[in-house]
């Protein structure tokens, strides 16, 4: 094995190697160190948030209600215009029908007023008119009137009450008579006892011929008459007790008949009352477009009086007067783990360009507990439903208040956390190394 020849360096090279760095080299090294420190400092100081993006729909907690025509016919508007404020149960339009609308409304109002007075029709029956035009409701209305008048006439005639009163008075007088007869019976009993004693004594005297036969017979006759009177009084008491029992039986029967009669008439009244109310509701559903709540009315088509409309046609929409605006967005399951309640949200609406109007601030209100499968391009993905509340409504960060239109679409960015720039650099390095 050959040995390599030794390497000989000349003096100039050795001098360069052993010589100290120049001032330029020192400044370069210092600059590199300072740059590195500044880079680390800025990487630690600079933070910017992670966001989870998705599409959002701005809606209200109470959706508008569309009113649909229940029948075909000519329509009559109730002096309303688009976006007028309407009250709950107010008539917006009437579809042509045989009934007089004012008569139906009057009867419906009277029915609501007497709901607490049905037990005494005398107080309200006269307030109901008989000369009305209710179309298909006429039969139900007059059945109700008949039932109410039957109760009023029954209470005015007072037939059962008078009979019951007479029987009670009869029973009372019979009881008084019994007390009088009992008193007479007690008197005759005492008289019989006394006569019995005298008769025994007289009999002894008569046997000894100390009194005449006539005296003895007179006393005996008086005793027998008193005995007969006593027996007759007892029979009278028995007869009166029987009569009282019969009267009490009639009284109980009358009370039962009275209760059954009143119950029957009351049921007829209640049944006809509810039947009339149900038919009025059916009539309203068929011919009346009525506001289901307070709010603003929107016309879903151009309408004029006497315009013909078809059954099932959407005519009006009622927008709630007071409502809570909220946002809903579907978030992919892969990014939902970062999202927490009260996480801030930046919302940009499609109808209002972001650069001109700004963004709307929101907060995560709730996160669904289970996922929902959504089909996108023949692929099913799992999503969570996120509800977002809007503390400032639709007022943007530019101070502009946006008009609310139902189902406004847009995009939303949920800010999940703030991370330092250096953390992100190291995370990327770890990711690339791994």
Q: How far apart are CA 75 and CA 285, in angstroms?
A: 14
Per the prediction, the chain carries an average pLDDT of 80
Q: Provide the pLDDT confidence category of residue 12 given band limits of 50, 70 and 90.
A: low
54 CB neighbour count, 10 Å cutoff: 19
Q: Does one domain contain both 251 and 299? A: no
pLDDT at 397 over 50: yes
Q: What is the pTM of this model?
A: 0.60
Taking 50 as the threshold, does the pLDDT of residue 230 lie above it?
yes
308-321 average pLDDT score = 88
pLDDT at 96: 92
Q: Which residue has the higher pLDDT, 283 or 156?
A: 283
* pLDDT in the model for residue 194: 80
Report if residue 24 sits inside a domain: no
User: Based on the domain organization, do 244 and 332 belong to the same domain?
Assistant: no
Strand order in the sheet with 91-95: 288-290, 91-95, 73-77, 307-309
The average pLDDT across 324-351 equals 82
Percent of the chain with pLDDT over 90: 15
- Return the closest-CA partner of residue 147 out of 266, 243, 30: 266
- Higher-pLDDT residue of 261 and 51 is 261
412 and 399, same structural domain? Answer: yes
Tell me, yes or no, whether 19 lies in a domain.
Answer: no
Top-confidence range, 87-91, 138-142, 255-259, 339-343: 138-142
Residues 109 and 254 in one domain: yes
Look-up: residue for tokens 């406004």?
408
**pLDDT of 329 strictly over 50:** yes
Domain assignment present for 387: yes
Assess whether pLDDT exceeds 50 at residue 276: yes
Q: Using the 8-state DSSP alphabet, how is residue 396 labeled?
A: B
CATH number at residue 361: 2.40.30
Q: Please report whether residue 47 resides in a domain.
A: no
Confidence of residue 130 (pLDDT cuts 50, 70, 90): confident
Output the domain CATH number for residue 276.
Answer: 1.10.287
State whether 73 and 125 are in the same domain.
no
Six-digit token pair at 70?
């229940």
pLDDT of residue 48: 59
Given the DSSP bridges, would you call strands 379-389 and 360-367 parallel, antiparallel or unpaired? antiparallel
Q: How confident is the model at residue 140 (pLDDT cuts 50, 70, 90)?
A: very high
Q: Write out the residue range of the structural domain in which residue 314 sits.
A: 62-90+291-322
The reply to whether 42 falls in a domain is no
In this structure, the answer to whether residues 245 and 150 fall within a common structural domain is yes
102 pLDDT tier (thresholds 50, 70, 90):
very high
Decide if 12 is inside a domain: no
**Of the ranges 10-14, 175-179, 182-186, 209-213, the best mean pLDDT one:** 175-179
Last residue of a domain, one of 272, 302, 322: 322
Residue 409: CB partners within 8 Å, gap ≥ 6? Answer: 55, 56, 57, 58, 349, 350, 351
Do 245 and 346 fall into the same domain?
Answer: no
Q: Would residue 38 count as lying in a domain?
A: no
Instruction: List Cα–Cα distances, 404 to 326, 345, 421, in angstroms.
Output: 11, 19, 39
Domain boundary (322, 338, 372) is at 322
Looking at the fold, whether 385 and 244 belong to one and the same domain comes out as no
Mean of pLDDT values over 243-254: 87
With CA atoms as reference, report the closest residue to 288 among 104, 113, 139.
104
- pLDDT value, residue 420: 58
The verdict on residue 18 lying in a domain is: no
Distance between CA atoms of 370 and 82, rounded to whole angstroms?
Answer: 42
Contacts (Cβ under 8 Å, ≥6 apart) of 187: none
Which of 283, 314, 336 is at the close of a domain?
283
Same domain flag for 308 and 343: no
Q: Are residues 86 and 140 in the same domain?
A: no
Q: For the domain that residue 67 is a member of, what is the CATH number?
A: 2.40.50.100
Share of the chain above pLDDT 70, in %: 80
Q: What's the Cα-to-Cα distance from 173 to each of 176, 240, 245, 252, 323, rounded to whole Å?
A: 5, 10, 13, 18, 74
Q: Taking the chain, what is the end-to-end CA distance rounded to the nearest angstrom?
A: 46
**How many structural domains comprise the chain?**
3
Indicate if 208 and 331 belong to the same structural domain.
Answer: no
> Both 110 and 224 in a single domain?
yes
Record the tokens describing residue 327, joined without a space: 């946002």
């Amino acid at each position: 094995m050959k040995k390599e020849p030794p390497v000989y360096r000349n003096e100039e090279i050795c001098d360069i190697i052993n010589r100290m760095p120049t001032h330029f080299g020192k400044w370069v090294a210092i600059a590199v160190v300072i740059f590195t420190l500044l880079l680390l400092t800025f990487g630690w100081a600079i933070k910017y948030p992670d966001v989870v993006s998705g599409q959002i729909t701005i809606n209200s907690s109470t959706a508008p209600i569309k009113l649909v025509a229940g029948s075909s016919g000519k329509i009559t508007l109730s002096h309303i215009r688009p976006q007028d404020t309407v009250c709950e149960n107010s008539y917006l339009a009437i579809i042509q029908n045989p009934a007089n609308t004012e008569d139906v409304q009057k009867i419906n109002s009277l029915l609501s007023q007497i709901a607490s007075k049905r037990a005494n029709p005398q107080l309200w029956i006269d307030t109901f008119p008989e000369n009305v035009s209710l179309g298909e409701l006429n039969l139900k209305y007059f059945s109700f009137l008949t039932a109410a008048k039957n109760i009023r006439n029954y209470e005015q005639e007072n037939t059962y009450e008078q009979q019951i009163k007479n029987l009670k008075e009869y029973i009372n007088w019979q009881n008084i008579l019994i007390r009088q007869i009992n008193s007479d019976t007690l008197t005759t009993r005492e008289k019989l006892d006394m006569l019995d004693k005298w008769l025994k004594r007289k009999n002894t005297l008569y046997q000894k011929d100390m009194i005449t036969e006539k005296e003895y017979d007179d006393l005996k006759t008086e005793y027998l008459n008193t005995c007969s009177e006593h027996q007759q009084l007892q029979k009278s008491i028995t007869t009166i007790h029987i009569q009282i029992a019969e009267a009490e039986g009639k009284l109980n029967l009358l009370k039962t008949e009275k209760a059954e009669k009143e119950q029957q008439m009351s049921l007829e009244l209640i049944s006809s009352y509810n039947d009339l109310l149900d038919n009025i509701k059916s009539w309203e559903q068929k011919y009346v477009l009525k506001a289901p709540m307070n709010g603003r009315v929107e016309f879903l088509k151009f309408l004029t009086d006497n315009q013909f409309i078809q059954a099932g046609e959407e005519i009006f929409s009622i927008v709630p007067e007071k409502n809570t605006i909220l946002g809903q967005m579907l978030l992919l399951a892969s990014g939902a783990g970062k999202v927490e309640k009260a996480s801030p949200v930046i919302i940009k609406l499609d109808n209002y360009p972001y650069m001109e109007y700004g963004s709307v601030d929101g907060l995560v209100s709730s996160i669904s507990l289970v996922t929902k499968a959504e089909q996108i391009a023949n692929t099913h993905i799992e999503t969570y439903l996120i509800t977002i509340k809007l503390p400032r409504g639709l007022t943007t960060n530019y101070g502009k208040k946006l008009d609310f239109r139902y189902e406004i679409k847009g995009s939303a960015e949920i800010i999940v956390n703030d991370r330092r720039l250096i953390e992100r650099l190291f995370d990327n390095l770890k990711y690339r190394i791994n």
